[in-house]
Amino acid sequence: MTEKKKHFVSLSVKPLFVLLLGLVLGVCVCLLANFTGEQIIERSYMSDKAVLKRTNRAAQEFQSFVRQNSISTRDTDMLASWGESRKNYYIMLYHDQRQILEIGWWGADSAAVDAYSLKEQMASVVYPIVFRDGTFYAVIYDNSDSGLYDLLWIVSLLLGCAVLALTLLAYNRRVARRVVAISQEVQSIGAGNLYLQLEPKGRDEISQLTASVEQMRLSLLRKTSEEQRALQQNSDLITAMSHDIRNPLTALLGYLDLAKNRQYRSEDELQSYLDAAYGKAEQLKTLTDELFRYSLLFGCKELPMQMEIYDARLLLEQLLGESRVQLQQQGFMVQLLLPQQEVQIEADVMYLKRVLDNLFDNIRKYADPAQSVAIAALIEDGALHICLSNSVNPASGRIESNKIGLRTCAKIMAQMAGGFKRYTENGKFTAEVILPIRAAEVSSLKNMKNATPGFLLRLCFGMIQTAR
């Protein structure tokens, strides 16, 4: 089942909904309490048995008052005084079915006495009262419920207001708890605890803030994990490099010590010591170059470059020409193609040379000497593309397990506003170095017929095939 999408409700609107809900609940509680109270009053206090009991007691009190004070029906003042002290009762005196006197006070609504109720009471209970001037019949109306209903309404309203207040208080406490939770989460993150997960609840500004804090926590956690992993990798690398450097260095010192102390029997033996020492020195150079590339890749974000303007053809003739001669001396067949256009590039020649040296080192390590090495530099899409391509030597087994050298090349070229690409296709490895041409030169090349995309790669492969 798919989870229903929750609608966003702003905190500026939520209190209005909560207030409306509190009012509805308050009104419902008020009406329910009043209805329940009325039922209780009607079934207990205002039942026929309870009313009859109270009217009987009132009749007895009235008869006792009349007898003790020897009152006649003409003593209206005394009768009115007694009625005022008994405001819950209304007494009507009859003689020969004719009303002669009213005792009690009904306020401004005296005329609104329920005639039907009076008639019911007159038909059911009539009390004979003996006055000094004769016997009269009294109908006693019980009015003690009026105050109870007023009190009931007051209590019901108080309960409704209490429900409204509790609803608002509950909402405020919930909002306060959410804010306190976010505050504690931020404090926990500030203290370094990044593993306490905070789940956003609801669809409002607080939930958005909670989600933002959670994203911040995850981001910090990922960054911290990456830093710890990088530190562990650095530690492992330093340990491994220290061990790898120590062995050839010890051997190198041993060979040099033998040569220094003339501990050899012949010139051939001395030459073997020197050759071995030279091999260990080459091994040390390879290890230190690897360490430098690693530190260059992970040690700093920005490289201290000194960008200068160069003539592309002259610079490449120098850099590529020297490396071409070295490869040929080592038995490689090299095909070199330089650009015919005279353009200028902006680069740091030291770092550019380091990139090219890295690529040529890969050729020496992993290229097949029986196959030609293609080096081409052409203008394509407003940039200078330098392509080095070679067939992979099956005996090499791999092409850089960690790719640190190639990643270093990519970082250097990116900082020179250029690019670096590498391809492996059909047993051939190709690296492409891209340098932007100066803006003034690009406009002059727009009218020239540039090579189509992928032309440089096809050209390098074609040069390899031609040289076989």
* Percentage of the chain modeled with pLDDT above 90: 9
Per-residue pLDDT, 440: 53
Residue 210 has pLDDT above 80, yes or no: no
Residue 163 has pLDDT above 80, yes or no: yes
Per-residue pLDDT, 81: 87
Higher pLDDT, 41 or 345: 345
Residue 31 has pLDDT above 80, yes or no: yes
* Percentage of the chain modeled with pLDDT above 70: 76
CA–CA gap between residue 50 and residue 52 (Å, rounded): 5
Q: Residue range 394-398: average pLDDT?
A: 64
Query: 3-class DSSP state for residue 370?
Result: coil
Residue 77 has pLDDT above 80, yes or no: yes
CA–CA gap between residue 254 and residue 281 (Å, rounded): 12
Per-residue pLDDT, 256: 82
Per-residue pLDDT, 254: 82
Question: Do 83 and 91 form a contact (C-beta atoms < 8 A)?
Answer: yes
Q: Which long-range contacts (CB under 8 A, 24 or more apart) does 104-112 make?
A: 104/141, 104/143, 106/143
Query: 3-class DSSP state for residue 378?
Result: strand
Contacts of 42 (CB under 8 A, 6+ apart): none
Q: Give the tokens for residue 188.
A: 């926990």
Per-residue pLDDT, 453: 42
Per-residue pLDDT, 450: 43
CA–CA gap between residue 327 and residue 324 (Å, rounded): 5
Per-residue pLDDT, 158: 93
Q: Phi/psi of residue 312, each to 5°?
A: -60, -45
Q: How long a stretch of residues is the chain?
A: 468
Per-residue pLDDT, 161: 93
CA–CA gap between residue 313 and residue 366 (Å, rounded): 28
Do β-strands 344-347 and 372-380 pair in parallel, antiparallel, or remain unpaired? Answer: unpaired
Per-residue pLDDT, 28: 93
Mean pLDDT across the chain: 78
For the ranges 256-270, 282-296, 330-344, 387-401, the maximum mean pLDDT occurs at: 330-344
The number of helices, as runs of H, and strands, as runs of E, in the chain is: 12, 11
How confident is the model over 140-151, as pLDDT tens digits?
A: 887 776 677 888
Is the CATH number of domain 308-467 3.40.50.300?
no
Per-residue pLDDT, 162: 93
How many other β-carbons are positioned within 10 Å of the β-carbon of residue 408?
23
Per-residue pLDDT, 165: 92
Q: Residue range 91-106: average pLDDT?
A: 81
CA–CA gap between residue 375 and residue 320 (Å, rounded): 8
Provide the pLDDT confidence category of residue 113 given band limits of 50, 70 and 90. Answer: very low
Residue 195 has pLDDT above 90, yes or no: no
Supply the pTM of this predicted model.
0.44
Q: Residue range 56-68: average pLDDT?
A: 90
Question: Do 255 and 274 form a contact (C-beta atoms < 8 A)?
Answer: yes
How many other β-carbons are positioned within 10 Å of the β-carbon of residue 29?
18
Provide the pLDDT confidence category of residue 111 given band limits of 50, 70 and 90. Answer: very low
What region does 403 belong to: left with phi over 0, alpha with psi -120 to 50, or beta?
left
Q: For residue 360, count CB atoms less than 10 angstroms from its CB and return exposed for 0-12, middle for 13-18, buried for 19 or more.
A: buried
Residue 159 has pLDDT above 60, yes or no: yes
Q: Give the tokens for residue 91.
A: 């007494």
Residue 32 has pLDDT above 90, yes or no: yes
Provide the pLDDT confidence category of residue 11 given band limits of 50, 70 and 90. Answer: low
Per-residue pLDDT, 25: 92
Residue 438 has pLDDT above 90, yes or no: no
CA–CA gap between residue 433 and residue 353 (Å, rounded): 11
Residue 230 has pLDDT above 90, yes or no: no
Provide the pLDDT confidence category of residue 457 given band limits of 50, 70 and 90. Answer: low
Per-residue pLDDT, 179: 78
